[in-house]
């Protein structure tokens, strides 16, 4: 029998009633239901969007709308443990997330896609690309977890203390956690809008457990061997980075560019960790040139 530590602020369950009343679609995969949205013409070139460590698929709102309007067939989804996807009692490691993406593409009959990954989603997209290069047409990495590990905030450092990790994270209030997530933005006004959307997912039991397991299983640690393999593939790669990213500092891009020297590289000025959300017009223009 699985036991859930009772985390502060987690008062709701993801169940059939929620799935019936929530926008988007749900599909049962090996490890549970995945919440996703697939839009655009059937004949359009497929694009899959992979979000990061803690924030669900709404973080791609501007990107999703732009690509659909541009004629692409666009998929976005919530990683297990986030958004409205299930919070299974499993190890939240790279294998789990790569298998989730692969199964989702297979189930939706998307044989080959352009992959766009943000932060931890960039690492997931890169691993899938080197494992199944025939499935990926082009790869876009936005402020990705790269060669080095992601620098952790004090909340997550404290949560990794041996023996008391659940207790530490359990004491963190919803407001404090949402504020920590919002610190990814360069412009505080974007952070205020973001916080209201982010509060929703934190209510559902299993969210903090999933984050904690993701940290314990080193899913946001660096993956140098993956980028070395990516550099040997004949794969178009686009790397986008916010100049003022405090979550994954810009200097971490150097190691990725060293491993994948052919990557097209763009720096977005006056922007934090989520450039496609903070500077959608600029990033959408870059994406359009690269994908088309």
Q: How big is the CA angle at 150 (ends 251 and 142), to the nearest 5 degrees?
A: 65
Q: With 60 as the cut, is the pLDDT of residue 269 above it?
A: yes
Q: Under a CB-based contact definition with an 8 Å cutoff, are residues 291 and 264 in contact?
A: no
pLDDT of residue 194: 80
Q: How far apart are CA 36 and CA 56, in angstroms?
A: 10
pLDDT of residue 188: 77
Tokens of 97: 């997330």
Pairing of strands 32-39, 73-77: antiparallel
pLDDT of residue 287: 98
DSSP letters, 66-96, are: HHHHTT-EEEEEPPTTSTTS---SS--SHHH
Residue 171 DSSP label: H
Q: How far apart are CA 114 and CA 138, in angstroms?
A: 5
Question: How many residues in total does the chain contain?
Answer: 292
For the chain, list the strands marked E by DSSP.
Answer: 25-29, 32-39, 46-50, 73-77, 113-118, 136-142, 237-242, 264-268
* Long-range contact pairs involving 125-131 (C-beta distance under 8 Å, separation at least 24): 125/50, 125/101, 126/223, 126/226, 126/227, 126/230, 127/94, 127/98, 127/223, 127/226, 128/98, 128/101, 128/102, 129/230, 129/233, 129/235, 130/226, 130/229, 130/230, 130/233, 131/98
pLDDT of residue 181: 76
How much is the pTM?
A: 0.93
Q: What is the mean pLDDT of residues 77-104?
A: 97
State in words which class domain 16-291 has.
alpha beta
pLDDT of residue 170: 67
| Residues 162-179: tens digit of each pLDDT | 666 666 666 666 677 777
What are the phi and psi torsion angles at 90 (to 5°)? Answer: -140, 175
Q: How far apart are CA 75 and CA 57, in angstroms?
A: 10
Domain spans of the chain, in order of start: 16-291
Q: Please, which residues have CB within 8 angstroms of residue 9's CB and are 6 or more apart in sequence?
A: 173, 174, 177, 202, 203
**Taking the mean position of all CA atoms in its chain, how far away is CA 74?**
15
Q: Please, which residues have CB within 8 angstroms of residue 185's CB and are 6 or more apart in sequence?
A: 191, 194, 272, 273, 274, 277, 278
pLDDT of residue 180: 76
Q: What is the mean pLDDT of residues 6-33?
A: 92
pLDDT of residue 160: 66
| Residues 219-258: tens digit of each pLDDT | 999 999 999 999 999 999 999 999 999 999 999 999 999 9
Order of strands, sheet of 136-142, starting from the edge strand that comes earlier in the sequence: 25-29, 32-39, 73-77, 46-50, 113-118, 136-142, 237-242, 264-268
């Amino acid at each position: 029998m699985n036991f859930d530590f009772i985390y502060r602020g987690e008062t709701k369950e993801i169940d059939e009633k929620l799935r019936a009343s929530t926008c988007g679609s749900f599909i049962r995969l090996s490890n549970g239901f995945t919440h996703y949205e697939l839009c655009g013409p059937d004949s359009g070139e497929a694009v899959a969007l992979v979000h990061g460590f803690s924030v669900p698929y709404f973080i791609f709102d501007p990107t999703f709308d732009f690509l659909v309007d541009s004629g692409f067939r666009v998929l976005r989804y919530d990683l297990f443990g986030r958004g409205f996807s299930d919070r299974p009692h499993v190890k939240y490691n790279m294998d789990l997330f790569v298998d989730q993406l692969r199964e989702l593409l297979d189930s939706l009959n998307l044989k080959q896609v352009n992959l766009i990954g943000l932060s931890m989603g960039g690492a997931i997209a890169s691993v899938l690309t080197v494992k199944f290069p025939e499935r990926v047409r082009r790869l876009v990495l936005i402020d990705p977890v790269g060669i080095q590990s992601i620098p952790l905030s004090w909340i997550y450092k404290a949560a990794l203390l041996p023996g008391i990790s659940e207790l530490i994270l359990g004491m963190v209030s919803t407001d404090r956690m949402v504020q920590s997530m919002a610190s990814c933005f360069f412009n505080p006004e974007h952070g205020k809008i973001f916080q209201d959307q982010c509060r929703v997912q934190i209510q559902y039991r299993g969210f903090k457990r999933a984050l904690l397991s993701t940290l314990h299983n080193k899913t946001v640690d660096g993956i140098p061997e993956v980028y070395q393999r990516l550099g040997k593939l004949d794969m178009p790669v686009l790397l986008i980075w916010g100049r003022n990213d405090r979550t994954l500092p810009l200097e971490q891009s150097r190691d990725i560019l060293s491993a994948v020297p052919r990557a097209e590289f763009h720096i977005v000025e006056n922007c934090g960790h989520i450039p496609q959300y903070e500077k959608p017009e600029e990033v959408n223009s870059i994406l359009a040139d690269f994908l088309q």
